[in-house]
Chains A and B, each alone.
Chain A
Amino acid sequence: MSDEINIQELPIEELFELMQEDLYDGLADEVLEEVNEALARGLQPFEVLTQGLVAGMDIVGKDFRDGTLFVPEVLMAASSMKSGMTVLRPLLIETGAPKMGTAVIGTVKGDIHDIGQNLVSMMWEGAGFEVTNIGINNSVEDYMAAIEAHNPEILGLSALLTTTMPYMKTVIDALNEAGIRERLTVLVGGAPLSDAFAEEIGADAYCRDAAVAVDTAKKFMQIRNEAA
């Protein structure tokens, strides 16, 4: 085996494999180079997304859950994914490729703790979702405006404080009143939450961490796609 590789000479399977490895190791520039190489060979953007980047992030997610990877490593992988997406996203839209899903996420009114939801955003993006992170301290009106603007399938509500948790129910009640609750999958997250709380306030699911948030969002997208 030589000590050098020329990615232009790699068979396509090996190129994807390399893309996944470089994503795993958080090498943004290399991932970008490999995405460009795959596109130059005439591969469909959707193929590059699913067989290269998303497949790579699946491994990252799995190793994170198994305790092999640490949070900073997952972040690096997700940000490499993001750099590949800067090239892929416009092409995906152009080619009318199927979407992995669209999500809006934000912390509820009174809550400024957004580190957790920022991780979820990164991980969702890593899984190929289009994510709009509307930041902290969001009122019902803020959520409504974001839903109007981005038409997401998934709405993520985040809270760290027990005192702001009830506002999640206020948001869901407002969705019901506006008659748009049924077309959204509402996922809630935050340290003091539980499955029981999610059920009680009428959310679709509680996600205990960023890895679970990815799995749950994918699962609901699959259900939606099968129903469609």
Chain B
Amino acid sequence: MVRERRHSRRGRPSPTRQVEAITQPLHQIPVYELLDASALDKIHQVSMEILSEVGILFMDDPESLAILREHGVRVEGELAFFTPTQIEHYVTMAPSEFTQLARNPARSLVIGGKHMCFAPVYGPPFVADRERGRRLGTLQDFRDFVKLAYLSPYIHHSGGVIVEPTDLPTPTRHLDMLYSHIKYSDKPFMGSVMSAGNAADSVKMVEIMFGSEAIRQQPALISLINISSPRRLDDRMLSALKVYARARQAVIITPFILSGAMGPAAIAGTLAQQNAEALAGIAFAQMIEPGTPVVYGSFQTNVDLQSGSPVFGSPESQLALYVSAQLARRYHLPFRSGGMFASAKIPDVQAGYESIMTMLPAVLARVNFVLHAAGWLDGGLTAGFEKFVLDCEVLGAFHTLLRGIDMSENGFAMESIRSVPPGGHHLGTPHTLRNFRTAFYRSELFDYQPSEAWEADGAHDAYERAHERLQQLLASYEAPPLDPALDTELQAFVSRRKAEISG
């Protein structure tokens, strides 16, 4: 009658997913290849024709033109013409995968290969939530999004300009954003690309964190260099690109194409143009610093040619996404695309459909770095708080999809199959009892209740439930520990730079 005292499960906290519990997903399912090899080669050939005959503009930056000339590129005015041999020579120098450092080493991320990672929305000037509606973003909003990204086990990266903190002065707000990423999260983050000075500040801050030698071995920043399509790199992006490449920090070279306006009203042509633009930027980065980690980026959809507005989740953008991923793989480069894109203004049915229309292809195509994976609304003009929380639920489901099927003995569960009579049930077999918590992904926000129970609970829709969750998440947030000496040094740097910039 004497037995060991044990602790009952009763009263244990309900099993919520912890930040620590889930790591960066590996793509363990087949990759969706939309085009066959000869069709893909055709796109490559046309993009070589664009590069060698039509050219890419390197705008308002004589130094960049000089670098191109030094490396044998034919330059006419500001137009650069690359030969296929030059492209191949320089693009091959880029690593096929690399690790981005996080201040918590357990959260460092592999970018490339079979690895995927999800990062928050980037760039919106507005934020929206159910209570306060749409308004200009502030530093407080920015910090709240950093906290939400930190709290979600399904967001692996803290991102960059999650929302523009419009309450701060433009010339110094990058410092507040960078510091907030470091202070309120321990996940990797993105550098500022607004100017060479901003890029240099970003590099300096990660040098303070990791040491200047360590970040040359493995980048601590990944930054978004957009190509201002069609066929144009501007001085702002070029100057940031040069700073990052010289510091061996990772850059994502992303043509920004809304087909019909910034690309032709045709998918194959858009892909050829995008490929030419991305490869030109990538080759240029390797001319500056061979081996600099780069990501082949794609931000592509089309305009609605009736109204001129961008369309998100269009079937054409899905087709293009699959092929863009194939192209990046062809050149052995990590790939960035995708996201939970929506034109919808609130997280409604439209937002859900639109978002999944791009996110599912992003998963099946194996996008290594998914920017805008949570929070995107309003064509990218608004960062939605509830949208962010809801998107994370779907990202969780994709983590399970990416693992594929468990083909082990436990995966077949023959003991369960043998033990249940015809027409019986598996709900109580030993196998089910061992596996029930992890066997199937369970959204914590989606409603699976019987209709009557849902009505009795107040008939809340997903938007309302997400709003409640949002309050709980922000209330539960605790900052990850930050070494006080490092914190002081970072704050001193920010103060000094603010004083210098404000003059």
A interface, CB within 8 angstroms of B: 1-8, 20-22, 24-26, 30, 33, 37, 59, 63, 67-68, 70-73, 75-76, 79, 112, 114-115, 118-119, 136, 194-195, 208-209
Given A70-B436, A75-B427, A115-B425: A5 and B5 interface contact (C-beta under 8 Å)? yes
CA–CA, A67 to B445, complex, Å? 12
Contact partner, B2, options A1, A6, A26, A63, Cβ 8 Å: A6
B405 interface residue per 8 A CB criterion: no
Across the interface, name the chain A residue whose C-beta is closest to B9. A25
Across the interface, name the chain A residue whose C-beta is closest to B12. A68
B interface, CB within 8 angstroms of A: 1-5, 8-10, 14, 423, 425, 427-428, 432-433, 436-437, 450-453
CA–CA, A133 to B112, complex, Å? 58
Q: Which 5 A-B pairs have the closest CB atoms?
A: A21-B8, A75-B428, A208-B450, A115-B425, A72-B436
* A72 and B1 contact, CB distance less than 8 A: no
Measured CB to CB, the closest approach of chain A to B179, in angstroms, equals 39
* A7 and B10 contact, CB distance less than 8 A: no
Residues from chain A with a CB closer than 8 A to the CB of B450 are 208-209
Measured CB to CB, the closest approach of chain B to A193, in angstroms, equals 10
Residues from chain A with a CB closer than 8 A to the CB of B423 are 112, 114, 136
Contact partner, B10, options A59, A75, A208, Cβ 8 Å: A59
Across the interface, name the chain A residue whose C-beta is closest to B5. A5
Residues from chain A with a CB closer than 8 A to the CB of B453 are 208-209
Given A70-B437, A72-B427, A195-B452: A25 and B8 interface contact (C-beta under 8 Å)? yes
Given A67-B14, A75-B427: A4 and B5 interface contact (C-beta under 8 Å)? yes
* B427 and A24 contact, CB distance less than 8 A: no
* B10 and A76 contact, CB distance less than 8 A: no
Across the interface, name the chain B residue whose C-beta is closest to A114. B423
CA–CA, A70 to B9, complex, Å? 12
Given A70-B437, A118-B425: A37 and B1 interface contact (C-beta under 8 Å)? yes
Measured CB to CB, the closest approach of chain B to A55, in angstroms, equals 12
* B5 and A1 contact, CB distance less than 8 A: yes
Contact partner, B428, options A8, A79, A136, Cβ 8 Å: A79
Residues from chain B with a CB closer than 8 A to the CB of A75 are 427-428
CA–CA, A59 to B9, complex, Å? 12
* B428 and A72 contact, CB distance less than 8 A: yes
CA–CA, A123 to B437, complex, Å? 21
Contact partner, A24, options B4, B8, B436, Cβ 8 Å: B8
Residues from chain B with a CB closer than 8 A to the CB of A21 are 8, 10
Residue from A33, A70, A118, A136 whose CB has the most chain B CB atoms within 10 Å = A70
CA–CA, A4 to B4, complex, Å? 4
CA–CA, A3 to B2, complex, Å? 10
Residues from chain B with a CB closer than 8 A to the CB of A25 are 8-10
Interface residues of chain A: helix, strand, loop or mixed (majority): helix
Contact partner, A71, options B2, B5, B14, B427, Cβ 8 Å: B427
* B3 and A208 contact, CB distance less than 8 A: no
CA–CA, A33 to B2, complex, Å? 11
CA–CA, A115 to B423, complex, Å? 8
CA–CA, A68 to B437, complex, Å? 11
Measured CB to CB, the closest approach of chain B to A71, in angstroms, equals 5
Across the interface, name the chain B residue whose C-beta is closest to A71. B427
* B4 and A3 contact, CB distance less than 8 A: yes
* A76 and B425 contact, CB distance less than 8 A: no
Residues from chain B with a CB closer than 8 A to the CB of A68 are 14
* A8 and B1 contact, CB distance less than 8 A: yes
Residues from chain A with a CB closer than 8 A to the CB of B10 are 20-21, 24-25, 59, 63
Across the interface, name the chain B residue whose C-beta is closest to A209. B450
Given A71-B427, A72-B432, A136-B423: A6 and B1 interface contact (C-beta under 8 Å)? yes
Measured CB to CB, the closest approach of chain A to B460, in angstroms, equals 14
CA–CA, A79 to B451, complex, Å? 28
Residues from chain B with a CB closer than 8 A to the CB of A30 are 3
CA–CA, A115 to B10, complex, Å? 26
Beyond A4-B3, A68-B14, 16 additional pairs, beta carbon < 8 A: A2-B5, A5-B2, A6-B1, A7-B3, A8-B1, A22-B8, A25-B8, A71-B427, A72-B428, A72-B436, A75-B427, A114-B423, A115-B425, A119-B427, A194-B452, A208-B452
CA–CA, A63 to B428, complex, Å? 18
Given A70-B436, A208-B452, A209-B450: A76 and B428 interface contact (C-beta under 8 Å)? yes
Residues from chain B with a CB closer than 8 A to the CB of A20 are 10
Residues from chain B with a CB closer than 8 A to the CB of A72 are 427-428, 432-433, 436
Residues from chain B with a CB closer than 8 A to the CB of A67 are 14
What are 22 A-B pairs with beta-carbon distances under 8 A? A3-B5, A4-B4, A5-B3, A5-B4, A5-B5, A6-B1, A6-B2, A7-B3, A21-B10, A22-B8, A24-B8, A24-B10, A25-B9, A26-B433, A63-B10, A71-B436, A72-B436, A76-B433, A112-B423, A114-B423, A119-B427, A208-B453
Residues from chain A with a CB closer than 8 A to the CB of B2 are 4-6
Residues from chain B with a CB closer than 8 A to the CB of A26 are 433
Residues from chain B with a CB closer than 8 A to the CB of A8 are 1
CA–CA, A68 to B428, complex, Å? 17
Residue from B2, B3, B427 whose CB has the most chain A CB atoms within 10 Å = B427
CA–CA, A68 to B425, complex, Å? 22
CA–CA, A2 to B4, complex, Å? 9
Residues from chain A with a CB closer than 8 A to the CB of B14 are 67-68
Residues from chain B with a CB closer than 8 A to the CB of A6 are 1-2
Residues from chain B with a CB closer than 8 A to the CB of A7 are 1, 3
CA–CA, A63 to B8, complex, Å? 14
CA–CA, A203 to B4, complex, Å? 50
Measured CB to CB, the closest approach of chain A to B489, in angstroms, equals 46
CA–CA, A112 to B451, complex, Å? 24
Residues from chain A with a CB closer than 8 A to the CB of B436 are 70-73
Residues from chain A with a CB closer than 8 A to the CB of B4 are 3-5
CA–CA, A118 to B427, complex, Å? 11
Residues from chain B with a CB closer than 8 A to the CB of A24 are 8-10
Across the interface, name the chain B residue whose C-beta is closest to A65. B453
Residues from chain B with a CB closer than 8 A to the CB of A118 are 425
CA–CA, A165 to B428, complex, Å? 28
CA–CA, A198 to B411, complex, Å? 41
